[in-house]
Amino acid sequence: MKILSDFDGVWTDQAGEARFINESFVQEVSRDLDLPEAVARAEFEGFLRAAHEAPDQHGWWPRGFLTAFVDEDELLATGAVCRYLDDGGDAPGAARWREGIREAGHPSAHDYGSEKFGPAMRTYLQDHGHRLVDGSRELCETLRLAGVELVIVSNSPTTKLQKLFAEAGVEEGDGLRFVGDARKWWVENEEPRSEYAGRRVHLDRPYYREILTREQPDLVIGDVASLDLAMPAAMRIEGTLGASTQLVLRQSPGSARWAVEQTSLEQGERLVDRCVPSVLDLAALATGA
């Protein structure tokens, strides 16, 4: 059996990081716009709710294409809020934020948010570290003994994957490979797209398609359905991946409801076959235990 797995959000838990970044952003806005923190926090949450109400407009927009929706990944919150402001959102406080951000010397909320996101992430990782979830080493050993080939495919550099697994006591080789800089997020053209739960998901992802074509996994697991699972779902339908390829969502408390509910649909209509609460469930899926 060959498993193709995403990394961050599957082998790591990013919930604490997302909370820290959002709170740090609120604190920065409070200071820069001279707002009470409670007011800044309430208004931020209002903007985020509004962004969630229009997921086809908010999320991760590299190269001008929406490659993942705001309700799929808690780390997309600040970017979605900034885009909401730049798009002229009118929730209470929005006009004040836009004016304050301009007065602070930033041409857009996106520019302001980009300046704040990186330092907040680095501070969190410096204070809390970046490590695999507990039990990862034992899982890798279980999969190795079961003869499973495990390929970790990530947008992060290969060296990052090697370092974090090594720190957990797991070395590359003997059935474990790392594929970094995967560029799953790279969308080449507007079409083709497929619709899932009212969301039109981009499928012209040449770099991810090439990896999937080469690897031919029996199971794909990720935590962001549109980013990790839509491409293999489309390839399964067109026959460039096997009809029995399993698509698994690593479900967290922040997972999008629409993605979780995909499991109730027929195979040809869904991009998620099953949800698991932890990457450690791969042991049972791989061994049939």
DSSP code for 62: G
Q: Which residue has the tokens 């507007």?
A: 190
Residue 200 has pLDDT above 80, yes or no: yes
Average model confidence (pLDDT) for the chain? 95
Mean pLDDT of 30-42: 97
pLDDT number for residue 58: 94
Confidence of residue 289 (pLDDT cuts 50, 70, 90): low
Confidence of residue 285 (pLDDT cuts 50, 70, 90): very high
Domains in the chain, start-ordered, CATH in brackets? 2-12+132-287 (3.40.50.1000), 15-128 (no CATH)
Contact between residue 12 and residue 133 where contact means Cβ atoms under 8 Å apart:
yes
Confidence of residue 254 (pLDDT cuts 50, 70, 90): confident
pLDDT number for residue 198: 86
Residue 271 has pLDDT above 70, yes or no: yes
206 membership: H or E segment, kind and range: helix 206-215
Q: Give this prediction's pTM.
A: 0.94
Rounded Cα–Cα distance for residues 220 and 246 (Å): 6
Residue 288 has pLDDT above 80, yes or no: no
pLDDT number for residue 287: 81
Confidence of residue 47 (pLDDT cuts 50, 70, 90): very high
Mean pLDDT of 102-124: 95
Contact between residue 117 and residue 262 where contact means Cβ atoms under 8 Å apart:
no
Question: What's the first-to-final CA gap in the chain, in angstroms?
Answer: 14
In sequence order, which residues have a C-beta less than 8 Å from that of residue 236 and are 6 or more positions away?
A: 242, 243, 245, 247, 267
Mean pLDDT of 82-86: 97
